[in-house]
């Protein structure tokens, strides 16, 4: 299964007037096809255009299941009383021994066995229960400025840092620069290192996974170190012995890049499970993985003593470092480790919690991990087979479990809570003056989607809420700026809601404005202006909404009771990674402008055959400024070296483009580079 298959699927669904849900991703579908347990094969990063694999076809079918549930809601025979209110503080406890872990896993597996055996449980419900329903996404007023300044000072050049959610907390990505070199994780899975010399840039090194069953996820660049997050299977014990086993691990591999002509791996750390997310604060890496429990005797492990490419020693995480919430419905361990990337793993700590993982939100003090869970009533119903259930009943019982981890106190799990509904992504959460704000989408008694915003204390006790707004719509983007939340929802129009959070116990909506299409990302430009990046949509002849291109919009939020549209620009037939991954946005704080990578797919109709031929594919960048609320396009550059652009970065006055080059549907170069000078 290829991640980029899903990009193609989304494009195909969009051309038919259907928006593919964000839930569709490689990890989710591949694990479903493998009977939930992770596939034991290397990911293939090559892009597929012109054909959809068998696995991708399953994804389309699954998308149909989600869409059907969303369009039609609960059928009359499916309506059942809504489970008890889900919002509130949840208990959290550490295990005392492996026996307690074993009993809890057994109970969870009984729950899942009953769930799977029920004829009314759809494939969509099965997938959503295991993995949640969302996918990993600064501003000119300085939200990411300190990361950019740090990089510039280190190299003596002006260059960007990765666009991140929280100042001082770096996020891994597929493209980084230190001002002297450009580091890019290509679609074929290798990290390519280029010199940053404009038109004279050249490839100076390639870093590859060390075996066929290993692959790179993304990476960081810190001073003279390349920190790569990778995935690999290791073997423990002697073949044919009682303790011989194979297991998937998430790894942090540290490379010395002080001499790019001789890149060497100098350190590594691994923990059980598939890679979920990570953050870096200074030289400290926080690694998060989801470790599948294959049976009731499973325990989370780390990995040490890498004696060759395949063998290692498995070290169990002590039971006292493993936690659980009440009634975990997923037989996974969420594993969190702290690792010093500069001092050979000094003061490494690993802890875990039983339950599934969805998203990570991180400040410099706290890590918040979210997971989808269900109410105790629903859990007992399924566990004991006391009633039948349906996808819509399960959806009405969904809540987002939030676990708070103290980064300054030995990774202690300090609090847990549940809020009704599901988050959209990490930007749905925000910590402000000790309180946590969370925006969710949930289903009411009739299976109709509604939206909510909760304010929780530092102990994750509820302080206030706004619930039930924007019926029949779901949240597509959230941005918090101090005491105000801006929430985008969508069904056929894009309402921007302004929510006053100045009194945590009494949040309330102060105003809203609607526009066609929807923004999937909100960026603060200044105190009175918001930038929205997302999708333009139109209604087809059949009455369905169709995505038709990339949309940029600016909102005037000076009067929070009366927000207004300032300007919009639509780029038809364009798609961009920024529409679903905020890290794809390039912000130049010195120039005060934005650059977006894009790929254009223009379908050609052949009147002689009365059919559409292969699309004309091209890629490039859009560079623009916001001037008095208006969107001023400075340059729209189309590359003659790349047909698809994933990312872009800048060093001094040069913007570098990275992506793929295709011809006749075949990949010629999936580590292609191009550059353009700022106008």
Cβ–Cβ under 8 Å, residues 599 and 672: no
**Coil, strand or helix at 163:** coil
pLDDT of 331 = 80
Cβ–Cβ under 8 Å, residues 287 and 219: no
pLDDT of 435 = 98
| Tokens of residue 471, six digits | 């019926």
**Coil, strand or helix at 500:** strand
Rounded distance between C-alpha atoms, residue 636 and residue 92, angstroms: 52
With 0.75 as the threshold, say if the pTM is over it. yes
pLDDT of 446 = 77
Compute the average pLDDT of residues 551-572.
97
Read off the pLDDT band of 66 (50, 70, 90). very low
Q: How many CA atoms lie within 13 A of 645 on its CB side?
A: 33
Output DSSP code: residue 41. S
| Least confident residue range of 111-115, 331-335, 337-341 | 111-115
pLDDT at residue 603 above 60?
Answer: yes
Continuous H helices in 169-221: none
pLDDT of 399 = 84
Task: Name residue 277's beta-bridge partners.
Answer: 288
Q: Which residue has the higher pLDDT, 624 or 47?
A: 624
pLDDT of 212 = 82
pLDDT of 279 = 98
| Least confident residue range of 172-181, 332-341, 347-356 | 347-356
| Tokens of residue 266, six digits | 């100098």
Compute the average pLDDT of residues 611-617.
78
pLDDT of 392 = 56
pLDDT of 269 = 93
Cβ–Cβ under 8 Å, residues 32 and 39: no
pLDDT of 19 = 40
Please, what's the b/e burial string for 19-32 (b: 16 or more CB within 10 A of its CB; e: otherwise)? bbbbbbbbbbbbbb
pLDDT of 272 = 93
| Tokens of residue 377, six digits | 């009533």
| Tokens of residue 102, six digits | 């074993």
pLDDT of 501 = 98
Cβ–Cβ under 8 Å, residues 129 and 398: no
Q: Which residue has the higher pLDDT, 214 or 488?
A: 488
pLDDT of 356 = 67
The mean predicted confidence, pLDDT, of the chain is 79
Q: How many percent of the chain have pLDDT more than 70?
A: 73
Cβ–Cβ under 8 Å, residues 518 and 495: no
CA–centroid distance for 658 within its chain: 21
| Least confident residue range of 39-43, 156-160, 228-232, 262-266 | 39-43
Q: Which residue has the higher pLDDT, 459 or 311?
A: 459
Rounded distance between C-alpha atoms, residue 219 and residue 533, angstroms: 25
pLDDT of 187 = 87
**Coil, strand or helix at 7:** helix
Q: Which residues contact residue 34 at a Cβ distance below 8 angstroms, ignoring those fewer than 6 apart?
A: none
Read off the pLDDT band of 307 (50, 70, 90). low
Q: Which residue has the higher pLDDT, 663 or 316?
A: 316
424 sits in the region (left: phi over 0; alpha: psi -120 to 50; else beta) called: alpha
pLDDT of 188 = 87
Rounded distance between C-alpha atoms, residue 201 and residue 194, angstroms: 6
Rounded distance between C-alpha atoms, residue 363 and residue 572, angstroms: 37
- What are the φ/ψ torsions at residue 609 (nearest 5 degrees)? -95, -10
Read off the pLDDT band of 112 (50, 70, 90). confident
Q: Which residue has the higher pLDDT, 404 or 331?
A: 404
- How do residues 345-398 score in pLDDT, each as one tens digit? 678 999 998 876 779 999 999 999 987 776 555 666 666 666 555 555 555 667
pLDDT of 308 = 59
What residue spans define the domains of the chain? 1-72, 471-679
Strands (E), 106-257: 175-177, 181-185, 191-195, 203-207, 215-222, 225-236, 245-256
Task: Name residue 599's beta-bridge partners.
Answer: 575, 619
Q: Which residue has the higher pLDDT, 384 or 461?
A: 461
Rounded distance between C-alpha atoms, residue 412 and residue 317, angstroms: 14
pLDDT of 3 = 41
Spatial CA neighbour of 166 closest among 405, 372, 360, 402: 360
Rounded distance between C-alpha atoms, residue 24 and residue 10, angstroms: 9
| Least confident residue range of 15-29, 192-206, 281-295, 402-416 | 15-29
pLDDT at residue 24 above 90?
Answer: no
Cα distances (Å, whole numbers) of residue 515 to 423, 529, 567, 631: 22, 16, 11, 16
Read off the pLDDT band of 669 (50, 70, 90). low
Read off the pLDDT band of 666 (50, 70, 90). low
Give the count of beta carbons closer than 10 Å to the beta carbon of residue 94: 16
Rounded distance between C-alpha atoms, residue 54 and residue 638, angstroms: 33
pLDDT at residue 341 above 90?
Answer: yes
Rounded distance between C-alpha atoms, residue 194 and residue 672, angstroms: 11
pLDDT of 101 = 92
Q: Which residue has the higher pLDDT, 151 or 544?
A: 544
pLDDT of 396 = 62
- How do residues 513-543 score in pLDDT, each as one tens digit? 999 899 999 999 999 999 999 999 887 777 7
pLDDT of 110 = 84
Burial class (CB in 10 A: 0-12, 13-18, 19+), 583: buried
| Tokens of residue 297, six digits | 């005797």
**Coil, strand or helix at 379:** helix
| Tokens of residue 611, six digits | 């059919």
């Amino acid at each position: 299964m290829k991640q980029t298959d899903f990009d193609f699927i989304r494009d195909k669904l969009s051309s038919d007037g259907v928006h593919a849900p964000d839930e569709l991703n490689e990890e989710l579908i591949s694990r479903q096809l493998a009977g939930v347990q992770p596939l034991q094969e290397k990911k293939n990063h090559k892009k597929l255009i012109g054909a959809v694999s068998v696995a991708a076809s399953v994804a389309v079918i699954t998308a149909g299941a989600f869409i059907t549930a969303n369009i039609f809601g609960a059928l009359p025979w499916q309506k059942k009383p809504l489970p008890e209110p889900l919002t509130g503080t949840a208990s959290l406890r550490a295990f005392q021994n492996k026996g307690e872990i074993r009993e809890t896993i057994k109970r969870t597996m009984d729950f899942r066995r009953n769930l799977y055996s029920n004829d009314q449980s759809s494939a969509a419900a099965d997938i959503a229960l295991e993995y949640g329903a969302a996918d990993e996404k600064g501003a000119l007023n300085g939200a990411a400025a300190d990361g950019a300044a740090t990089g510039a000072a280190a190299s003596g050049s002006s260059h960007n840092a990765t666009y991140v959610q929280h100042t001082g907390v770096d996020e891994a990505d597929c493209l980084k620069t230190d001002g002297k070199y450009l580091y890019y994780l290509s679609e074929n899975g290798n990290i390519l290192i280029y010199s940053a010399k404009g038109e004279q840039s050249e490839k100076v090194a390639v870093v590859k996974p060390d075996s066929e069953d290993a692959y790179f996820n993304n990476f960081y660049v810190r001073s003279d170190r390349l920190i790569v997050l990778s995935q690999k299977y290791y073997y423990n014990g002697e073949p044919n012995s009682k303790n011989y086993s194979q297991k998937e691990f998430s790894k942090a591999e540290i490379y010395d890049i002080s001499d790019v002509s001789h890149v060497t791996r100098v350190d590594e750390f691994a923990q059980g499970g598939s890679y979920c997310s990570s953050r870096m604060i200074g030289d400290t890496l926080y690694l998060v993985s989801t470790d599948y429990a294959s049976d009731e005797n499973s325990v989370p492990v780390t990995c040490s003593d890498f004696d060759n490419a395949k063998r290692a020693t498995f070290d169990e995480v002590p039971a006292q470092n493993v936690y659980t919430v009440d009634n975990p419905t997923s037989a996974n361990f969420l594993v969190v480790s702290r690792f010093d990337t500069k001092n050979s793993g000094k003061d490494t700590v690993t802890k875990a919690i039983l339950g599934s993982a969805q998203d990570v939100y991180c400040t410099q003090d706290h890590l918040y991990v979210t997971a989808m869970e269900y109410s105790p009533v629903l859990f007992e119903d399924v566990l004991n087979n006391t009633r039948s259930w349906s996808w819509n009943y399960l959806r009405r019982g969904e809540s987002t479990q939030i676990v708070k981890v103290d980064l300054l106190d030995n990774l202690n799990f300090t609090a847990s809570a549940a809020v009704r509904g599901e988050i959209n992504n990490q930007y749905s959460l925000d910590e402000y003056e000790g309180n946590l704000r969370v925006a969710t989408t949930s289903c009411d008694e009739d299976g109709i989607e509604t939206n909510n915003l909760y304010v929780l204390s530092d102990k994750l006790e509820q302080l206030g809420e706004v619930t039930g707004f924007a019926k029949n719509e779901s949240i597509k983007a959230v941005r918090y700026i101090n005491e105000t939340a801006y929430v985008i929802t969508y069904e056929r129009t894009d309402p921007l809601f302004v929510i006053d959070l100045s009194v945590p116990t009494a949040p309330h909506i102060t105003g809203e404005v609607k526009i066609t299409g929807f923004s999937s990302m909100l960026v603060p430009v200044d105190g009175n202006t918001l930038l929205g990046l997302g999708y333009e949509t139109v209604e087809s002849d059949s009455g369905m909404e169709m995505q038709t291109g990339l949309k940029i919009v600016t909102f005037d939020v000076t009067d929070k009771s009366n927000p207004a549209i300032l300007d919009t620009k639509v780029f038809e037939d364009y798609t961009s990674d920024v529409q679903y991954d905020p890290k794809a946005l390039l912000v130049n704080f010195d120039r005060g402008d934005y650059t977006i990578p894009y790929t254009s797919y223009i379908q050609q109709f052949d009147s002689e055959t009365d059919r559409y031929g292969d699309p004309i594919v091209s890629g490039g960048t859009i560079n623009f400024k916001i001037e008095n609320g208006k969107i001023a396009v400075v340059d729209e550059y189309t590359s003659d070296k790349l047909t698809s652009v994933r990312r872009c970065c800048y060093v001094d006055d040069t913007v570098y483009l990275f992506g793929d080059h295709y011809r006749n549907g075949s990949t010629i170069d999936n580590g292609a580079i191009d550059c353009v000078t700022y106008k």
